[in-house]
Amino acid sequence: MSEIIGKALIVVGDATETVDTLYPFYRLQEAGIQPVVIAPEKRMYQMVMHEVRPGWTITREWEGYQINADLSFSEVDESEYLGIFFSGGRAPEYIRYDDDLVRMTKYFFAQNLPVASVCHGVEIPAFADCVGGRKMATVPKCRFDLEVMGGEFVNEACVIDGNLVSGRTFHDNGYYLAPWIKMLEAEAAKRASS
């Protein structure tokens, strides 16, 4: 087991996408970064799997694994974390209005700390008014959420704009997550040397 160099937040809620969430969860562990799952309440959450199947014009959803939230949004001291990850699925549509989540989101952007977002995750920083003038990837159906708040939609597997790294869907996990983890490692090294 590798030495823990810091902690990063993973934001979830009911109907968070399974692959969007578990891939970064385990990649953080591999990098020696402790993933801390946060949600509206400290409890078990039902994740889902999303995919547009051949012949379908909308996303099909079915149950995925469950995940425990380590902390509720209100319990988080954001200064203890290297960065934050906004997972996809339908959860962001419902949890984005939480005042504590908005506070945290604004903090990570204001402090220029590593932020990652995939799929519907964009709905959280968009609602928190943190995407103006920023380039991001997201699932095309969330393009409006980004653009109405002044962001620029880029249809690529990995978009890096300063401290912000984003991907469109779980199909992009292998492209956008490594750059975010490198940013987290750099932030951990900076904190260790100060």
- Would you state the pLDDT for residue 1? 56
Q: Is residue 177 part of a domain?
A: yes
Two tokens, residue 86: 């906004």
- Would you state the pLDDT for residue 171? 93
Residue 70's Cβ-count burial label (10 Å; 0-12, 13-18, 19+) is middle
Q: Is residue 33 part of a domain?
A: yes
Mean pLDDT, range 16-26, rounded to an integer:
97
pTM score over 0.85: yes
Q: Is the pLDDT of residue 42 over 70?
A: yes
If one compares 63 and 106, the residue with the highest pLDDT of the two is 106
CATH number where 58 lies: 3.40.50.880
61 pLDDT band, cuts 50/70/90, is: confident
Domain that holds residue 56: 6-193
The pLDDT mean for the chain works out to: 95
Identify the CA nearest to 151 among candidates 171, 172, 123: 123
For residue 47, what are the β-bridge partners? 16
Q: What is the pLDDT of residues 119-156, one digit of tens each?
A: 999 999 999 999 999 999 999 999 999 999 999 999 99
Q: Is residue 133 part of a domain?
A: yes
The number of domains in the chain is 1
Q: Is residue 1 part of a domain?
A: no
Identify the CA nearest to 119 among candidates 168, 61, 183, 58: 168
Other Cβ atoms within 10 Å of 44 Cβ, number: 11
| CA angle, residues 36, 37, 38, in degrees to nearest 5 | 115
Q: Is residue 18 part of a domain?
A: yes
Max Cα distance, the chain (Å):
55
Q: What is the pLDDT of residues 155-167, one digit of tens each?
A: 999 999 999 999 9
Q: Which residues of 77-110 are buried (b: 16+ CB within 10 A; e: fewer)?
A: ebeebbbbbbbbbbbbbebbebeebbebbebbbe
Q: Is the pLDDT of residue 55 over 60?
A: yes
Residue 74 host element (H or E): none
Identify the CA nearest to 46 among candidates 18, 26, 76: 18
Q: Is residue 26 part of a domain?
A: yes
Q: Is residue 121 part of a domain?
A: yes
Q: Is residue 146 part of a domain?
A: yes
- Would you state the pLDDT for residue 49? 86
Q: Are strands 44-51 and 60-68 parallel, antiparallel or unpaired?
A: antiparallel
